[in-house]
Amino acid sequence: MPAPILFLQNIHLNFGGTPLIEGADLSIHAGDRLCLVGRNGSGKSTLLKIAAGIVEADSGERFVQPGTTLRYLPQEPDLAGFENVEKYVAADLAPGDDPHRAKLLLESLGLKGDEDPKNMSGGETRRAAIARALAPEPDILLLDEPTNHLDLPVIEWLETELRELRSAIVTISHDRRFLETLSRSTVWMDRGRSRSLAKGFGAFEDWRDTIFEQEETERHKLSRKIVREEHWITHGVSGRRKRNMRRVRELGDLRQTKASERKVSSGVNLTLAEGESSGKLVARLFNVSKSFGAKQIIKDFSAIIQRGDRVGIVGPNGSGKTTMVNLVTGKVAPDSGKVKIGIGSEILVVDQKREMLDPDWTLKDALTDGTGDMVSIGEETKHVISYMKDFLFLPEQLRTPLRALSGGEKGRLMLARGLRTPSNFLILDEPTNDLDLETLDLLQEFVADFPGTVLIVSHDRDFLDRTCTSVIASESKGIWHEYAGGYSDMLRQRGGGKIPVASPKAKPASKSKPRQDKQTTPGSKLSFSQKHALETLPKEIERLEFEIGKLNKALEDPELYSKDPKKFNTWVKALADRETSLSAKEEEWLELEVLREEMGD
């Protein structure tokens, strides 16, 4: 094998007296496609900075082949001091580099070059930094969370661009799909040390789990050996007579080995203050449209969201994802059409807008809102240190200012703050940013077990595949469609990228036979009865909603049952019958709407 063009050997680094990296290695050969993985705080970003020459290790060797060019993409690019984006990108070009490539990259990333860095969003800043890193086509490209703040079209463009580069690439990312697509080898930072796997990320998790199982077996064997030795020291005949000091020393060594082990920390304990159960209907959108000025954001979109649904919302930045969420939750009204919000919804929005966090707050302040030592989780309380441990924070971080937290720690903090509030309708806005893979797994399980409804705005394709029962996707020019399943299911239903007709959500198989008038063939028209139902169903739905409202109000009387139990029971039965009828008519209306769109009626 040819010599590496960059290597790190036996790297050690302490932060404030605490070991962060304890003997890590990294070898980069020409053309490598390497991913660097590990939990938040494991030292991945620091090791990448040491490789880039930005941070100096306490000890160990760093070697770069003479003449090797290297570019580094930081997690948080800094454009301060540059008049515009074009000058920022050009500042990293060497005399032999092609300036036209920099302009082409900016154009491909949707930037003109004259943007003022002071007025740019996080996504625009990230795209400018990507153009700066890629423009010279360096020998080595070090990427720290390159997909953060990028929408799906740009992520997919970046994957294609990186595949075509001749550069050796080392990537840190929480995006599983991105890592699976690009990596051919893996370096795992674990408890201060590095472990290497000559396979891409797709094989990493099974390999990691096997190592954990082997370590657990070894720990068990070590514990049993200590027990045997302690028994000999206490009860052995020779031990009582003259004490075999060699065995005593060996026992001490065994105890020291066990005490010095850096065990894998337990996972995040995601707990939510659970709200009351909502009604079966969470939201119904009927031919809603919304514009801002001359720009059509949403046009004639219809959908029903029911209790227990996990709905992903995807689309390019600026396509209207936030507007769609605001319509579904009733925060904004449509220009036309109708939105019905279900009864009893308790909405909680958990987003990644970290600018709302005061950098001078301590971790304790952020979790308790400055009220003391206890965290309120719905109607329960928990000591702040115990709650911190649930989200993998150490007790000694209690008074750590937020400015000192890593990106991943701030992501966990936003989850910890958000999940304190009771809810049955959870809105997750870019929940995966900066979270490590283990926390993502636990967040996925949390979403699956959540008893209410979840709306997920995300560019993480793997997370959408693992969590969603349907996906609402922007198709451009204000057209949105809903697809059954996750992101990959949406791509299959699109038929190679063509804009398809909306697909209804998957429903449990009905025991009753479908009505004959719903069976259609391509090119057929709606029957007379179907057209009539489309016209009359909205009025029937409104009538049922009105009657349900009246019955609910009547049943609120606390003395009704004691005064007239017969009337109480009659009204309870009437309410249940109308709610069942309402649900059936809403489903019938949605199915007919889908048929109408398919046939172009």
* Residue ranges of domains in the chain: 6-206, 207-260, 281-494, 516-599
Continuous segment of H or E residues that includes residue 481: strand 480-484
Instruction: Looking at the structure, give the CATH architecture of the domain made up of residues 6-206.
Output: 3-Layer(aba) Sandwich (3.40)
Task: Give start and end residues of each alpha helix (H) in 82-151.
Answer: 85-90, 99-108, 122-134
Beta bridge partner(s), residue 472: 313, 482
Continuous segment of H or E residues that includes residue 28: strand 18-28
pLDDT score for 422: 79
| Distance from C-alpha of 583 to C-alpha of 371, rounded to nearest angstrom | 44
The contacts of residue 487 (CB under 8 Å, 6+ apart) are 312, 314, 461, 464, 465, 468, 471
| Distance from C-alpha of 417 to C-alpha of 212, rounded to nearest angstrom | 31
- pLDDT digits 0-9 by tens, 281-327: 889 999 999 999 989 999 999 999 988 899 999 998 889 999 999 99
Q: Give the pTM.
A: 0.70
In eight-state DSSP terms, residue 506 is P
Q: Which two tokens stand for residue 365?
A: 């302040």
- pLDDT digits 0-9 by tens, 509-539: 333 333 334 444 444 577 777 777 878 888 8
149-153-155 Cα angle (round to 5): 55
pLDDT: which is higher, 313 or 280: 313
pLDDT score for 509: 36
Fold match, 6-206 / 281-494? yes
Average of per-residue pLDDT across 261-281: 57
Q: In CATH terms, is domain 281-494 a member of 3.40.50.300?
A: yes
pLDDT score for 512: 34
Q: Which two tokens stand for residue 447?
A: 């979403």
- pLDDT digits 0-9 by tens, 561-574: 778 878 888 888 88
- Report which listed range, 261-275, 348-362, 466-480, is most confident: 466-480
What CATH code is assigned to 516-599?
Answer: 1.10.287
Continuous segment of H or E residues that includes residue 322: helix 321-328
pLDDT at 155 over 60: yes
Q: By mean pLDDT, which of 62-66, 178-182, 335-339, 387-391 is the weakest?
A: 387-391
Q: Please report which confidence band the pLDDT of residue 352 belongs to, taking 50, 70 and 90 as the band edges.
A: low
pLDDT at 504 over 50: no
- Report which listed range, 13-17, 125-129, 314-318, 548-552, is most confident: 125-129
In contact, 126 and 149? CB cutoff 8 Å? yes
pLDDT at 236 over 60: no
